[in-house]
């Protein structure tokens, strides 16, 4: 089914598009669908969003006074249209939403300019794309009619249901939430209409947690799909490295977790080393040359762990075809790094290879390697079976350490993640070396060997950006943000966690990790880490083309080393593969071929790298609309992971209702304060209404609540005794009260 957004996306401002061709692009053949298209076209014309020329061809209006935005609503009923590139949000009154829901993509018209600190006000004229086709709701009976009341209180509509769905009426004993499929969104005076497709009885039923959180995050569960078939990889240009050992650093436990790269190290005669990063060949096994194949990904752009396995965005057939199997010869797309005696990269090249994974390096190995006495004659029990590989592994770890030092000197930061003591969440807390959405690194951890893989992949991804950007190729990248928006002084003052006598380093700065170390005890360190992690913004994927103006001092990476993890890695690896296979090596048919996959080769190239057909194919993949969809899906996955952790913590707290604990105040708000129970590793809210012995006011500058009569105060870092009194599975909320 088409959306308003898809109509506008298929039109441009220069050339008109006739009706029949528009129908073909939208894949509309049924008469009923064409009737809906006619209605949408007339409405868009009336709103002066599109127009029609004398040849009856449709095109987008150039000087439209409408802005594209996404609706964000709060539980208190405040709604804003959020624009891209950190532009000012537009306030939308509830009666001017025109039934747009939280998360919907809309066209907004400003009706009142902002003054002083007030946001501009606007009205939603057109809903381009609906975020929610499925709603989680409670079934209630209102005036003998059956309705679904969304459990997300940011959605300000109820949905009328058929009489037969009365049997799903909500009861607090069962906590029976239903999934509703929308048949008709509310419009004008017409109510929204839908029907129940599944009931989730959540009370004491943890098996349904993943299904519930997926639905609440607006993600479809994918068991498997057979519409993407692998093709045979290219066998003619591969360098055979299968006689040399390669190593996979792996902490993920699930069988179907993403396929990690394998690492190979060679010592050269001139005291330099050659470090190989071999990635699995998914991009060359898929046909990404047409819209039809690309649209298969539009509901799944990333792999992520559920409780029992991973939900992959690729089929098992494709992953198995590209998998690195121990002691078997496998195809790879590889990066060779030449490294000098100071562990600096002095050259690189990309190649197609044949490789063999000799060893799966696990957490027990890294701990034994880090603690081993090199002068001892006896090899430990854990290292004895792999004694032939110890020298290689120690050199790889040494290089990884040196790469990380360089990355930190270039402005990156390290922050430890929170601890986890819930077994079912174990896979969610393993470090993902291909996730660059966070503006910080996770420090090396001997209990997670993938943290040692991370600096190597960061360099490989950084090198591909440098290489492709110098050739003027499009790529999907992460641009590190300047951290000048983080006011460290304000954090220190508000949190009162650190002494004011702080010594800066020789550069006159203070690293985040050093800031954490300056805390006087473990409780304060935990609080400060949380404050810093919360204040750092997430990175989004950015489309970078030759037309972009790029600051060469910025840290930019184009991930390509883990294509089984997400679509961003896949299309960048597809870029690498295309350049190896289709990139022109010389200006004409002469025999002097240039290795365009080597460092600095771009300095000698003064010809077009690709023919028009290849360029057209790459432009189809690397476009802003696809990148927008990628970021939208990644936001949903981030929400799912966070809420999956939250619901399991609530489930844990539910077993201890009535118990008292010593807790640590982590955050103070006007409505109460959040307290962590270290013993359970869960966090709950002490609401200000439960503080009945006094009237408490919130002082934002001191970040505390203080009693008017007693002057009793509650601030961050205080240790208090609390009791768990209630949990709410639907809101992932734990309620506490003072003892």
Q: Which residues pair with 394 in a beta bridge?
A: none
The pLDDT of residue 223 is 63
Q: Which CATH number fits domain 655-738: 2.40.50.140, 3.40.50.720, 3.90.1150.10, 3.40.640.10?
A: 2.40.50.140
Strands (E), 389-539: 475-479
The pLDDT of residue 374 is 76
The pLDDT of residue 549 is 66
Give the range among 285-289, 294-298, 726-730 with minimum mean pLDDT. Answer: 294-298
What mean pLDDT comes out for the span 557-584? 95
Give the range among 226-235, 472-481, 600-609, 622-631 with minimum mean pLDDT. Answer: 226-235
Q: How many helices (H) and strands (E) does the chain have?
A: 15, 32
How would residue 529 be classed by pLDDT, with cut points 50, 70 and 90? Answer: confident
Whether the pLDDT of residue 1 is over 70: the answer is: no
DSSP label at residue 420: -
The pLDDT of residue 493 is 55
Give the range among 60-69, 141-150, 236-245, 388-397 with minimum mean pLDDT. Answer: 60-69
The two tokens of residue 59 are 């095109």
3-state secondary structure of 614: helix
The pLDDT of residue 2 is 74
How would residue 40 be classed by pLDDT, with cut points 50, 70 and 90? Answer: confident
Residue-by-residue DSSP string for 52-114? E-TTSEEEE-TT---EEEEEEE-TTS-EEEEPSTTPPPEEE-GGGSTT--TT-EEEEEEEE--
Q: Which residues pair with 686 in a beta bridge?
A: 673, 736
Which ranges in 253-389 belong to alpha helices (H)?
Answer: 291-295, 316-322, 363-371
**Nearest partner of 448 among 463, 428, 467, judged by Cα:** 428
Longest dimension (CA), the chain: 91
Whether the pLDDT of residue 521 is over 80: the answer is: no
The pLDDT of residue 516 is 64
The pLDDT of residue 160 is 96
Residue 582 CB contacts under 8 Å (≥ 6 apart), including other chains = 610, 611, 614
Q: How far is 584 from 233, CA to CA, in rounded Å?
A: 20
The two tokens of residue 482 are 């300047």
Question: Which helix (H) or strand (E) segment is 457 a member of?
Answer: helix 450-470
Q: How far is 424 from 695, CA to CA, in rounded Å?
A: 42
Whether the pLDDT of residue 149 is over 80: the answer is: yes
- Average pLDDT score over the chain: 88
The pLDDT of residue 489 is 59
pLDDT in tens, 340-397: 999 999 999 999 999 999 999 999 999 899 988 877 776 788 999 899 999 999 999 9
Whether the pLDDT of residue 625 is over 90: the answer is: no
What mean pLDDT comes out for the span 572-578? 95
For the structural domain made of 67-129, what CATH number should be given? 2.40.50.140
The pLDDT of residue 687 is 95
Whether the pLDDT of residue 553 is over 70: the answer is: no
Question: Which helix (H) or strand (E) segment is 142 a member of?
Answer: strand 134-142
What mean pLDDT comes out for the span 310-321? 91
Do the two domains 67-129 and 134-203 of this chain adopt the same fold? Answer: yes
How would residue 490 be classed by pLDDT, with cut points 50, 70 and 90? Answer: low
The pLDDT of residue 228 is 65
**183 in Cβ contact with 153 (< 8 Å):** no
pLDDT in tens, 267-290: 988 889 999 999 999 999 988 887
The pLDDT of residue 412 is 82
Q: How far is 422 from 188, CA to CA, in rounded Å?
A: 48
Tell me the pairing of strands 475-479 and 57-60.
unpaired
45 vs 571, which has greater pLDDT?
A: 571
The two tokens of residue 685 are 């809210």
Sketch the domain layout of the chain as residue ranges.
Answer: 4-60, 67-129, 134-203, 239-481+541-640, 487-535, 655-738
Whether the pLDDT of residue 442 is over 80: the answer is: yes
Rg for the chain, CA atoms, rounded: 28
Cα–Cα–Cα angle for 196, 201, 204, nearest 5°? Answer: 165
How would residue 220 be classed by pLDDT, with cut points 50, 70 and 90? Answer: confident
Burial readout 2-17 (b: 16 or more C-beta within 10 A, e: otherwise): bebbbbbbbbeeeebb
Tell me the pairing of strands 345-361 and 704-707.
unpaired
**196 in Cβ contact with 159 (< 8 Å):** no
What mean pLDDT comes out for the span 237-246? 93
Residue-by-residue DSSP string for 4-64? HHHHHHH--SSS-EEHHHHHHHTT--SHHHHHHHHHHHHHHHHTTSEEE-TTSEEEE-TT-
The pLDDT of residue 65 is 83
Which ranges in 157-266 belong to alpha helices (H)?
Answer: 209-216
Q: How far is 355 from 262, CA to CA, in rounded Å?
A: 9
Whether the pLDDT of residue 488 is over 70: the answer is: no
Phi, psi angle pair for 633, to nearest 5°: -65, -40
DSSP label at residue 602: G
Q: How far is 598 from 602, CA to CA, in rounded Å?
A: 9
Q: How far is 408 from 528, CA to CA, in rounded Å?
A: 20
Whether the pLDDT of residue 127 is over 60: the answer is: yes
Range 308-314, long-range pairs (CB < 8 A, 24+ positions): 308/254, 309/254, 309/255, 309/256, 310/254, 310/256, 310/257, 310/258, 310/427, 311/221, 311/222, 312/222, 312/256, 312/258, 312/564, 313/222, 313/566, 313/567, 314/228, 314/282, 314/564
The pLDDT of residue 722 is 96
Q: Which residues pair with 60 in a beta bridge?
A: 50
Cβ neighbours around 150 below 10 Å, total: 20
Question: Among residues of the chain, what percentage have pLDDT more than 70?
Answer: 91
pLDDT in tens, 169-216: 999 999 999 999 999 999 878 899 999 999 999 998 999 999 999 999
DSSP label at residue 171: -
How would residue 164 be classed by pLDDT, with cut points 50, 70 and 90? Answer: very high
The pLDDT of residue 698 is 93
Q: How far is 698 from 185, CA to CA, in rounded Å?
A: 41
**Nearest partner of 471 among 391, 576, 623, judged by Cα:** 576
Whether the pLDDT of residue 531 is over 70: the answer is: yes
Q: How far is 530 from 719, CA to CA, in rounded Å?
A: 17
Q: How far is 664 from 668, CA to CA, in rounded Å?
A: 11
Whether the pLDDT of residue 555 is over 80: the answer is: yes
224 vs 86, which has greater pLDDT?
A: 86
Whether the pLDDT of residue 15 is over 90: the answer is: no
The two tokens of residue 670 are 């006007």
The pLDDT of residue 180 is 96
How would residue 421 be classed by pLDDT, with cut points 50, 70 and 90? Answer: confident
The pLDDT of residue 154 is 87
Whether the pLDDT of residue 31 is over 70: the answer is: yes
- The third-level CATH classification (topology) of the domain covering 134-203 is OB fold (Dihydrolipoamide Acetyltransferase, E2P) (2.40.50)
pLDDT in tens, 631-661: 999 999 999 999 999 999 999 999 999 999 9
Question: Among residues of the chain, what percentage have pLDDT more than 90?
Answer: 56
Sheet with 542-544, strands from edge to edge, namely 542-544, 475-479, 556-557
Residue 111 CB contacts under 8 Å (≥ 6 apart), including other chains = 96, 121, 122, 123
């Amino acid at each position: 089914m088409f959306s308003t957004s898809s109509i506008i996306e298929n039109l441009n401002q220069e050339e008109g598009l006739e009706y029949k061709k528009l129908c073909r692009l939208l894949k509309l053949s049924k008469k009923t669908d064409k009737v809906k298209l006619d209605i949408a076209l007339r409405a868009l014309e009336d709103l002066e969003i599109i127009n029609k020329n004398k040849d009856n061809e449709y095109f987008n209006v150039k000087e439209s006074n409408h802005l594209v935005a996404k609706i964000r609503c709060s539980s208190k009923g405040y709604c804003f249209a959020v624009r891209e590139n950190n532009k000012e949000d537009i306030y939308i009154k509830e009666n001017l939403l025109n039934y747009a829901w939280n998360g919907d993509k809309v066209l907004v018209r400003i009706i009142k300019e902002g003054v002083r600190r007030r946001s501009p006000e606007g009205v939603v004229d057109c809903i381009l794309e609906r975020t929610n086709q499925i709603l989680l709701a409670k079934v209630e009976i209102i005036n003998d009619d059956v309705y679904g009341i969304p459990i997300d209180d940011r959605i300000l509509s109820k949905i009328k249901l058929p009489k037969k769905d009365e049997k799903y009426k909500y009861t607090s004993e069962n906590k029976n939430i239903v999934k509703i499929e929308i048949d008709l969104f509310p419009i004008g005076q017409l109510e929204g209409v839908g029907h129940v497709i599944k009931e989730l009885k959540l009370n004491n039923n943890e098996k349904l947690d993943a299904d519930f959180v997926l639905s609440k995050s607006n993600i479809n569960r994918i068991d498997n799909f057979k519409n993407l078939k692998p093709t045979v990889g290219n066998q003619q240009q591969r360098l055979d490295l299968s006689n040399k050992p390669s190593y996979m650093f792996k902490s993920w436990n699930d069988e179907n977790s993403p396929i990690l790269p394998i690492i190979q190290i060679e010592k050269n005669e001139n005291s330099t080393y050659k470090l190989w990063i071999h990635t699995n060949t998914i991009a060359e096994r898929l046909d990404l040359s047409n819209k039809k194949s690309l649209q298969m990904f539009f509901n799944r752009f990333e792999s992520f762990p559920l409780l029992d396995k991973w939900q992959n965005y690729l089929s098992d057939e494709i992953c198995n075809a590209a998998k690195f199997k121990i002691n078997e010869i496998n195809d790879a797309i590889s990066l060779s790094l030449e490294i000098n005696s100071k562990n600096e990269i002095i050259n690189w090249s990309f190649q197609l290879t044949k490789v063999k994974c000799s060893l799966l390096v696990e957490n027990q190995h890294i701990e034994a390697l880090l603690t081993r006495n090199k002068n001892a004659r006896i090899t430990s029990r854990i290292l004895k079976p792999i004694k032939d590989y110890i020298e290689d592994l120690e050199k790889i770890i040494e290089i990884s350490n040196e790469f990380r030092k360089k990355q930190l000197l270039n402005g990156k930061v390290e922050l430890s993640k929170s601890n986890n003591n819930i077994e079912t969440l174990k896979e969610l807390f393993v470090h993902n070396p291909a996730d660059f959405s966070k503006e910080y690194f996770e420090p090396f951890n001997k209990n997670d060997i993938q943290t040692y893989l991370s600096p190597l992949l960061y360099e490989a991804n950084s090198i591909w950006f440098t290489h492709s950007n110098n050739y003027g190729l499009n790529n999907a990248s992460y641009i590190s943000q300047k951290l000048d928006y983080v006011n460290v002084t304000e954090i220190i003052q508000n949190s009162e966690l650190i002494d004011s006598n702080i010594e800066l380093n020789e550069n006159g700065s203070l690293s985040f990790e050093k800031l954490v170390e300056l805390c006087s005890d473990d409780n304060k360190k935990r609080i400060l880490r949380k404050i810093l992690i919360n204040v750092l913004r997430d990175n989004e994927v950015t489309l970078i083309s030759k037309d972009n103006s790029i600051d060469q001092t910025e840290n930019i990476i184009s991930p390509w080393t883990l294509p089984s993890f997400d679509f961003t890695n896949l299309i960048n690896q597809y870029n690498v593969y295309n350049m190896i296979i289709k990139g022109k090596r010389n200006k004409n048919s002469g025999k002097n071929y240039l290795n365009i996959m080597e460092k600095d080769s771009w300095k000698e190239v003064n010809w077009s790298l690709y023919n028009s057909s290849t360029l057209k194919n790459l432009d189809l993949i690397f476009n802003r609309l696809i990148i927008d969809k990628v970021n939208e899906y990644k936001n949903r996955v981030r929400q799912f992971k966070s809420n999956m952790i939250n619901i399991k913590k609530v489930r844990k707290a539910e077993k201890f209702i009535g118990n008292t604990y010593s807790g640590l105040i982590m955050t103070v708000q006007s409505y109460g304060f959040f307290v962590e129970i270290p013993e359970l590793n869960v966090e709950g809210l002490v609401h200000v209404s439960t503080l009945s012995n006094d009237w408490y006011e919130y002082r934002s500058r001191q970040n505390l609540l203080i009693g008017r009569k007693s002057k009793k105060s509650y601030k961050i870092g205080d240790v208090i005794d609390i009791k768990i009194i209630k949990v709410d599975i639907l809101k992932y909320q734990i309620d506490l009260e003072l003892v």
